[in-house]
Amino acid sequence: MKAERDFQVVNHSVRKVDAWQLATGYPSYTADLAPAGCLHVKMLWSPHAHARLRSVDIAAAERMPGVRCVLYHGNVPRHPYTTAGEGFPEPSPYDQFVFDRKVRFVGDRVAAVAAETPAQAEAALAAIRVDYEVLEPVLSLEAALAPGAPVIHDEPDAYLPIPMPYCPQENIVARVGMEDVGDFADGLARADVRLDQTFETQYVQHAPMETYVAWAALDGRNRIQITTSTQVPFHCRRLVAQALGLSVGQIRVIKPRIGGGFGSKQEVLLEDLVALFALRTRRPVLWELSRAETFTSGRTRHPIRVRVRAGVTRAGALTALGLDCTANTGAYGGHGIPVVMCCGSKVLPLYRAETVHFAGQIVYTNLPVAGAYRGFGATQAYFGTEQVMDQLAEGVGLDPLEFRLRNHIRSGETSPVFAALGEGKEGVPMTIGSCALEACLRQGAAAIGWDRRRPHTEKTGRLRRGLGMAALMQGSSIPRIDMGAASIKINDDGSFNLLVGATDLGTGSDTVLAQIAAETLGVAVDKILVYSSDTDLTPFDVGAYASSTTYLSGMAVKKAAADARGQVLRVAAAMLAAPVEGLLLEGGVIRAAPDRSVTLAQVAHYALYERDQFQIIGTASHVTEKSPPPFAAHFVEIEVDTWTGAIRPLRYVAAVDCGTPINPKLAEGQTEGAVLNGISFALTEQYLFTPKGRLKNASLEDYHLWSLRDKPPIQAILVSSFEETGPYGAKSVSEISINGAAPAIGNALYNAVGVRLHQLPFTRERVWRALQSHAPE
């Protein structure tokens, strides 16, 4: 892998800045840092999918040993808000309350206890008497959209804070879409091969190693300090203030190291209650969800039904590409609108189609709540579109690789979809800058041995192998919405404190941002001391989502570092009596000539103690004007047991264009992890419900998340490009690679045995039944 430019720090696989503390088990995570003497929170979760609370009697629970406070809808403030950590105003309905008089899924909040020990809190839950008026649950899209269906959100005070119709009486959060590009019906009519197929994705969970956890305590000024495993500290502060009717200034949010999030911690699920308990009891309060609670009451990926319509000419040109998406958002609507809009905006522009159609709707049900999950929207939509692309190619006699090479978007091109679809509003026009998708396709194909691919009709025997592929694009931040900021100041010894609001959730973004700062300041990474995500101390940042940190926050860091660098050079110029323009800053030394130099430590000392004293400190903010897509081509070889339906991935190749990989090893790690996450999504993960909407497999034993034991060989190929608008040419890398496995395995399944599945996951029984009904030749 060769970078486009010669960098000193960037594009090198330096050690993670937090490696030592994590490898040695130094207390680093939220629960590690909870003070002794914390009260412990336990929640009484709803056993019903849909019910009204006629009464809640907490008197007996309050008298239980060790119990310090019991909260329920009768003794907490009622302010509508969303748990979705998004920019303000959120493209999510304010349809939640700290507690409500109605429960809307099995696992919804009913009442909470703070007690001296977890066991005492647990015991007190059993003493809470609740009289439920059980209502008819709505457990499917069909049931939710049926005329006369029970209304899940009938509370009068819920609303959508963006200018978009909110339709809770129809169990619909919102309808989204865009004006067709061209005459879509005509585009279909003109096609020589037309397809109209519907695909469905399932409920899945992020399952980070660290479950949801937060604690809160009052400081000496009666302010609330919340330490939490969150991806969105600043949004968390704002949302907690909103939910509790407090001012933002009363709250400080600190994010320590995070044990994984994948989008789940873009939701503010615990922080309101630990803050409220701390206020009521004046004691530190810790709440940590169990794994089962995380499955049941945490956030999930939106199951989405995607209808794909597309047409192609015999010459292989796309005349039409359209998506109609219906998302199940579960009991609350957070993130539903941007997720569905991303089904279009992150998928449709990948191919140059003459006509384009997109429409979507977000539907309430009485099932677990969906939210942000790595790749959101794109993951669900690519499952269908990339299988349709293979079928179109076959329909016109083209190899799937060749078909994609002919039709994918390239540098200098645009798509009307960019301007039409944003996240919760219209998008931003964009011309593709860097694009190495063609190289990804060719290198990935060579690595997997694509030229070995033979049609399924030539395959016999019990075990049959298949090759499949998918092409992908994502985005890098949300243009004109997301903002990141950074400040950087010099210390006496020439080291720098880098303060960022950006949130490292285990991805290594603190390291990446340190590398960007180090590159700009001409120092080694160990001279950059990163402190991230403390709302009192660090500058604002929207947080870790939408593949924004490297591209958006990285550019803020680059600008802040450049600001500091300018100040360093001005001081050095004074010290060396030389013009700034002639100075060279490299390796921590500023040179005017080979024999005339000062070190950064000398510059710092001079500025801090000697003459014209001031703090060398650079600050900057950054808002993006575009969301440059990373691109990827994924290839997989699988083996299908035609007797049992079992699919075994044998080998996976993910070729990714993420611009300049700031830290190649971390970028490869992101890619491999996302691929494994995607394979697991494709083959085994799913929520299984009882007829009354209770989750049956709320444990890692029963949920079947792939681990390293299951991992096939995964080859990550970083195909370099240079994105002019990104820091040192970087784009994002974190999300894109989760989106390829499901369609690539679907295509490989067809290549192996001649059947296609339109529903995830590809369980062995589902594959076996498809084989039984298909009886391939």
Partner 1 sequence: MKIKAVRRPETPEQARDWARELGEQALYVAGGTGLHFMTDPAEMVAIPLDRIGLRGVECSGRHYRIGALTPLADVMNYRAERWAFHETGRRTATHQIRNISTVGGNICRVFPWCDLPVALLALEATMVLLGDDGYAVPADDYFASQPARRLANGDLLLAVDVPVLEAHMGFGYRKEVICHSGFSLMTVAARLRLEGDRIRDARVAAGAALPFPARLKQVEALLADQPATPDTFARAATEGVREVAWKGREDWSDAYAAHAAAIAVRDALDRALTFARRRDW
Binding residues (CB under 8 A) for partner 1: these are 643-644, 684, 686, 688, 697, 701-702, 704-707, 709-710, 763-765, 768-769
**Residue 134 or 688 with smaller CB distance to partner 1:** 688
Residue indicated by tokens 């008497």: 129
Q: What is the DSSP code string of 580-637?
A: GGG-EEETTEEEEETTEEEEHHHHHHIIIIISS----EEEEEEE-S--PPPEEEEEEE
CA dist 420 to 176, 342, 357, 427, Å? Answer: 11, 11, 11, 5
Closer residue to partner 1, CB minimum distance, 73 or 711:
711
Nearer to partner 1, 531 or 643 (CB): 643
Q: Which residue's CB is nearer to partner 1, number 1 or number 688?
A: 688
Task: CB nearer to partner 1: give 290 or 697.
Answer: 697
Q: How far is the CB of 178 from partner 1 (least distance, A)?
A: 37
Query: Cβ 119 to partner 1, closest distance in Å?
Result: 10
Q: What does the angle CA 707 – CA 712 – CA 717 come to, to the nearest 5 degrees?
A: 110
Q: Which is nearer to partner 1, 528 or 749 (CB)?
A: 749
In the chain, how long is the greatest CA-to-CA distance?
A: 86
Give the residue with the Cβ less far from partner 1, 567 or 686: 686
Q: How far is the CB of 739 from partner 1 (least distance, A)?
A: 21
Q: Helix, strand, or coil here: 348? A: helix
DSSP string, 407-458: HB--TT-B-HHHHH--SSS-----B-----HHHHHHHHHHHHTGGG---GGG
- Helical spans, DSSP H, in 193-351: 233-244, 271-281, 291-297, 336-345
Rounded least distance, CB 415 to partner 1, Å? 39
Smaller CB separation from partner 1, 247 or 773:
773
**Which C-beta is closer to partner 1: that of 414 or that of 644?**
644
Enter the tokens of residue 380: 């669900």
Return the number of the residue (55 or 699) whose C-beta is nearest partner 1: 699
C-beta closer to partner 1: residue 122 or 399: 122
Rounded to a whole number of angstroms, the minimum distance from the CB of residue 744 to partner 1 is 20
Taking the complex as a whole, how short is the minimal distance between the CB of residue 649 and partner 1, in angstroms? 13
172 token code pair: 């619909």
In the complex, what is the shortest distance from the CB of residue 25 to partner 1, in angstroms, rounded to a whole number?
17
The amino acid present at 586, given as its one-letter code, is: E
* Shortest Cβ 39–partner 1 spacing (Å): 22
Closest to partner 1 by CB, 452 vs 709, is 709
Q: What is the DSSP letter of 662?
A: S
The side-by-side arrangement of strands in the sheet containing 102-103 is 102-103, 51-57, 129-134
Give min distance, CB of 765 to partner 1, in A. 4
Alpha-carbon distance 57 to 50, whole Å?
A: 19
CA distance 557 to 550: 10
Sheet holding 528-532, edge to edge: 528-532, 496-500, 483-490, 617-623
Q: How far is the CB of 163 from partner 1 (least distance, A)?
A: 43
89 cis-preceded (ω within 30 degrees of 0):
yes
Quote the least distance from Cβ 507 to partner 1, whole Å.
Answer: 24
Q: How far is CA 566 from CA 520, 561, 570, in A?
A: 10, 9, 6
User: How near is the Cβ of 600 to partner 1 at its closest, in Å?
Assistant: 48
CB 52 within 8 A of CB 133: yes
Instruction: Give the nearer residue to partner 1 in terms of CB position, either 581 or 701.
Output: 701
Shortest CB 300 distance to partner 1, Å: 17
Q: Minimal distance in Å, beta carbon 207 to partner 1?
A: 12
- Asked if residues 770 and 644 have their Cβ atoms less than 8 Å apart, the reply is no
Quick one: CA torsion of 737, 741, 742, 745, rounded to 10 degrees?
160
Contact present, 128 and 61 (Cβ < 8 Å): yes
CB of 21 or CB of 644, closer to partner 1: 644
Signed CA dihedral, 224, 230, 234, 235: sign only: negative
| DSSP states along 533-567 | -BTTTSPPB--S-TT-IIIIIHHHHHHHHHHHHHH
Kindly tell me which of 476 and 686 has the beta carbon lying closer to partner 1. Answer: 686
The rounded distance, in Å, linking the Cα atoms of 390 and 193 is 12
State which amino acid sits at residue 595.
Answer: D
Please report how close the Cβ of residue 453 comes to partner 1 at its closest, in angstroms.
28
541, two tokens = 């940042």
Q: What are phi and psi of 649, to 5 degrees?
A: -70, 130
